[in-house]
Structure 1
Amino acid sequence: METYNNVVLEQLPKHLKRFVVAQQYERYTALDQALWRYVMRQNYSFLKDVAYYPYIPGLKKAGLSIARIPDLQQMNDSLKLIGWGAVTVDGFIPPSAFMEFQAHRVLVIAADIRQLEHIEYTPAPDIIHESSGHAPIIGEPDYAVYLQYFGEIGTKALSSRKDFELYEAIRHLSILKEHAGTTEAELAEAESHLKTVQDNMGEPSEMALLSRLHWWTVEYGLIGSLEDPKIYGAGLLSSIGESASCMQKSVPKLPYDLDAVNYAYDITKPQPQLFVTPDFEHLMKVLNQFADTMAFRVGGKQSLEKAIDCQAVCTAVYSSGLQVSGVFKTANSDQAISYLQTVGPTALAFSGKQLAEHGTNYHREGFGSPVGLLENSPKDLADFSDEELIDYGIRPGKRCSLRFSSGIVVEGVVMKALRQETKVVLISFEDCEVYRNDRMEIYFKPEWGTYDMAVGAEIVSVFAGAADKDTYPSVDEKTEETPNLSHIPIEDSKLVAIHACIGKLRSESFDRKSWKDIFDQLYTEITDNWLALVELYEIAWAHHVYELTQEAESKLSAIIAIRPSLKKLIEDGIRVAKEEALNNH
């Protein structure tokens, strides 16, 4: 993985590095560059007045410019000065991974760039949204702290099976929308499938609710007063359509508080309302209010049941600090947890580091252990001294019987007791039987081998994923695909060549004949020529050759007559070109 001489990237854990792909900057075409320039010029024209932060200084802090698609080396050269980094990925990555990158102060940049027909907005991740939307505001210290902290909280959020189905449906539809060869039938089928999934989500999970807070702040947040808010959300900052429409009075502006978790969102449509925070400190307050309800802070049986519902790898933490990572299943019907049980590969860790010889190869069939106090002992077994262990018969080579207040009994020959720091975290037995209710419920039999009993009076925390992700085998497929940047249909290759000529014309001394040669190739019936004509119009205006601007404007008017949907894009391009030329005159 390329780290761009940025220590932030060098310190990324290996389980995140597998999502990173090379940017392959040379694959961006001249048309891609023109598309970037158009969006960024429009953004600057509008956002300089409504963005929360100074737009141009923000771009420079992030290593971005209006003129060209950002190069990851330049971005990292700038971002590392404020303790952040950036990497490119291939489109969508799992929400948990996205959050974890954020927790490590790394911006995830989709390497792809949207198609011309989606220039105003695309639901798919692209380099315009990820870089020009998220990166410039990182220079605001309070916001950067919030973004990192959100990542830390989000990494622990429990998802549901429905969340994964929704993620896959959105991912599939977004990819289809950005693929030039997609048919209307394929789009309709994907949209129908997404609606079916959305309509059958059931109760939202922690991750679903947290994603709403992320959406209404990081992506679509406003800051200031309800009467005069400013934009800081990346989704708005990177959408030349919605950044303007969202400020209209017809879009309700609500005060941001915890109630925002009750507002679902649709990434394919303009937002029906937006939330305004008075400052970034308020965002932290609301986030902590929600985090106080999450399983990683609450613990107990209710939290473990959320993990069971996930049917994915989660971690339960005993009061001793022992971390059990695996797929959990229901093991008892008590009101409190009396026995914890996983199925399939399981790992034991402490403080985020896997215990030696307790990885998934050793616990490949699952792991089970009592939870609770010993009968007639008010003290957590984890806090027993060596002398107290001996008093209870817990010493190597001695057969002992441990009876828990829940009625569970562990009988066997002690092999060893493992301490971490001051806590007893694990006691291993041989020739062991674990049962309850006079053996009506059997949890472990002697012939099954060594029994490793976790120690702790309660489950104090439950969170998503493995405790030591770098040693726990990933359940996600590793993506080997490279970004599909150069998927250019044959009929579009001529347009790419024309934009290359325009780029050359822009970089050299103005030449009227070259301008006319390009202009004469742009037929009005090919309405995708509109961006090239806007570029030529801008160049002519910059050099005050007004008869050429009139020719370009005439062709652009003809295109509007054929495709009225392009009216705003073309008129905005003309307006910005005039403004810039007059300001520079």
Structure 2
Amino acid sequence: MSADGFASGPPPGARADWTIDQDWAGYSPAEHQVWTRLYERQAALLPGRACETFLHGLEALDLHGDGIPDFARVSEDLQRLTGWSVVAVPGLVPDEVFFDHLANRRFPAGRFIRKPETLDYLQEPDVFHDVFGHVPMLTDPVFADYMQAYGQGGLRAMGRGQLHNLARLYWYTVEFGLMETASGLRIYGAGIVSSHAESIFALDDPSPHRIGFDLERVMRTPYRIDDFQQVYFVIPSLDALRETTLQDFGPVYERLKLAEDLPIDRAAPGDKLYSRGSQAYAEAGGRRAKP
């Protein structure tokens, strides 16, 4: 949950690192019911769609409970498994704050939850997207290391003025990534697993391209923030993703300075295509239908 353009420090009530108290006792029964409704809908849909790492993490953390999870309890389990914790923030935070939290194995999560009338679309990530979508993957040691490395890399990218390239890596892996498995393509990105509609679209719809992951290809590819993705990138494994991220990005950034962005509606020479999309959904105008 990062964003640029912040002109001042933390909002009133937030600490210097932009964290706030979750105030779990302050949630209303109606807010807990929204979580339960969203959880049960996704839990019924995701077996056979989400990767086993996500499903195992969901089970390990017992996120169903009595509604919205208490970050303190979730953090105890995460600390035991991978050394991570969940910290509450008031909303989107500056990039440098976001990266610092990740680099120190803290995942910043919004505390608010969407209204019943907006179950299927939000402009700003809420607690369901942040905790249900992101946190189960942090129970896996390999993915946990990847996220920490990403935070460390973000701090370096800011100094080079190439944060837009690194943001694309996060978007197409942590948020909207697919994984190749022996059973077929599976979802691991939080923006997909927390969305009922995109959990179906990302795997089943003939419209988007599904392309094998290549670091520089990903970093040259813009993304949609207002609708379903026109392209998804497929990693071969979490280990491969982590190893790619642990390399020195300096030479990559130098090459990217001379490279143009690649259009999201067309495959590029050299792409490993799992499926060439028709792009029919985007060409028809799409619709705002994902959380």
TM over 0.5: yes
The aligned counterpart of 1:310 is none
Residue 283 (structure 1) aligned with residue 241 (structure 2): yes
- Paired amino acid for 1:208: H
Residue 213 (structure 1) aligned with residue 169 (structure 2): yes
The aligned counterpart of 1:24 is 23
Q: Distance in 2 between matches of 1:292 and 1:229?
A: 31
Equivalent runs, 1:345-356 vs 2, <5 Å: none
Residue 267 (structure 1) aligned with residue 225 (structure 2): yes
In the alignment, is the contact (CA less than 8 A) between 1:223 and 1:277 conserved in 2?
Answer: yes
Deviations 1:516-545 (A, max 9, x none): xxxxxxxxxxxxxxxxxxxxxxxxxxxxxx
**1:37 Cα deviation (Å)?**
0.9
The aligned counterpart of 1:229 is 185
Q: Distance in 1 between matches of 2:53 and 2:163?
A: 32
Residue 142 (structure 1) aligned with residue 142 (structure 2): yes
- Paired amino acid for 1:42: R
Closer, same or farther: CA 29–285 of 1 in aligned 2, 3 Å: same
The aligned counterpart of 1:514 is none
Aligned length: 241
Q: Distance in 2 between matches of 1:276 and 1:236?
A: 13
Q: TM-score, normalised by structure 1?
A: 0.39
- Paired amino acid for 1:99: F
Kindly report the root-mean-square deviation, in angstroms, between the aligned alpha carbons of the 2 structures.
Answer: 2.7
**1:130 Cα deviation (Å)?**
0.7
- SS of residue in 1 equivalent to 2:64: coil
Q: Distance in 1 between matches of 2:159 and 2:92?
A: 17
- SS of residue in 2 equivalent to 1:81: helix
- Paired amino acid for 2:201: S
- Paired amino acid for 1:33: H
Residue 256 (structure 1) aligned with residue 213 (structure 2): yes
**1:66 Cα deviation (Å)?**
5.5
In the alignment, is the contact (CA less than 8 A) between 1:96 and 1:155 conserved in 2?
Answer: yes
Closer, same or farther: CA 100–63 of 1 in aligned 2, 3 Å: farther
**1:99 Cα deviation (Å)?**
1.6
In structure 1, runs of 5+ residues without a counterpart are 1-14, 161-204, 303-567, 569-585
Closer, same or farther: CA 227–217 of 1 in aligned 2, 3 Å: same
Deviations 1:336-379 (A, max 9, x none): xxxxxxxxxxxxxxxxxxxxxxxxxxxxxxxxxxxxxxxxxxxx
The aligned counterpart of 1:49 is 48
- Paired amino acid for 2:116: L
Q: Distance in 1 between matches of 2:123 and 2:248?
A: 27
In the alignment, is the contact (CA less than 8 A) between 2:212 and 2:235 conserved in 1?
Answer: yes
In the alignment, is the contact (CA less than 8 A) between 2:50 and 2:193 conserved in 1?
Answer: yes
Closer, same or farther: CA 67–271 of 1 in aligned 2, 3 Å: farther
- SS of residue in 2 equivalent to 1:49: coil
Deviations 1:478-514 (A, max 9, x none): xxxxxxxxxxxxxxxxxxxxxxxxxxxxxxxxxxxxx
- Paired amino acid for 1:121: Y
- Paired amino acid for 1:58: G
In structure 2, runs of 5+ residues without a counterpart are 1-13, 258-288
Deviations 1:181-222 (A, max 9, x none): xxxxxxxxxxxxxxxxxxxxxxxx411110000100011111
The aligned counterpart of 1:71 is 70
Q: Distance in 1 between matches of 2:130 and 2:136?
A: 10
The aligned counterpart of 1:90 is 90
Closer, same or farther: CA 60–126 of 1 in aligned 2, 3 Å: same
- Paired amino acid for 1:127: V
In the alignment, is the contact (CA less than 8 A) between 1:47 and 1:55 conserved in 2?
Answer: no
Equivalent runs, 1:557-572 vs 2, <5 Å: none
Query: Between Structure 1 and Structure 2, which shows a larger proportion of strand residues?
Result: 1
The aligned counterpart of 2:101 is 101
- Paired amino acid for 1:79: L
The aligned counterpart of 2:203 is 247
Q: Distance in 1 between matches of 2:55 and 2:146?
A: 22
In the alignment, is the contact (CA less than 8 A) between 2:145 and 2:242 conserved in 1?
Answer: no
Determine which structure has greater relative contact order: mean sequence separation of CA pairs < 8 Å that are 6+ residues apart, divided by chain length: 2
Equivalent runs, 1:431-446 vs 2, <5 Å: none
- Paired amino acid for 2:233: F
Q: Distance in 2 between matches of 1:289 and 1:226?
A: 27
Q: Distance in 2 between matches of 1:99 and 1:55?
A: 23
- Paired amino acid for 1:236: I
- SS of residue in 2 equivalent to 1:241: helix
**1:293 Cα deviation (Å)?**
3.0
The aligned counterpart of 1:122 is 122
- Paired amino acid for 1:239: S
Q: Distance in 2 between matches of 1:293 and 1:19?
A: 33
Larger radius of gyration: 1
Deviations 1:89-142 (A, max 9, x none): 001001221121111111111111112232123230210011001111112221
**1:26 Cα deviation (Å)?**
2.7
- SS of residue in 2 equivalent to 1:236: helix
- SS of residue in 2 equivalent to 1:274: strand
Identity %: 27
Q: Distance in 2 between matches of 1:154 and 1:246?
A: 27
**1:155 Cα deviation (Å)?**
1.6
**1:50 Cα deviation (Å)?**
1.1
- SS of residue in 1 equivalent to 2:47: helix
In the alignment, is the contact (CA less than 8 A) between 1:206 and 1:294 conserved in 2?
Answer: no
**1:287 Cα deviation (Å)?**
2.9
- SS of residue in 2 equivalent to 1:48: coil
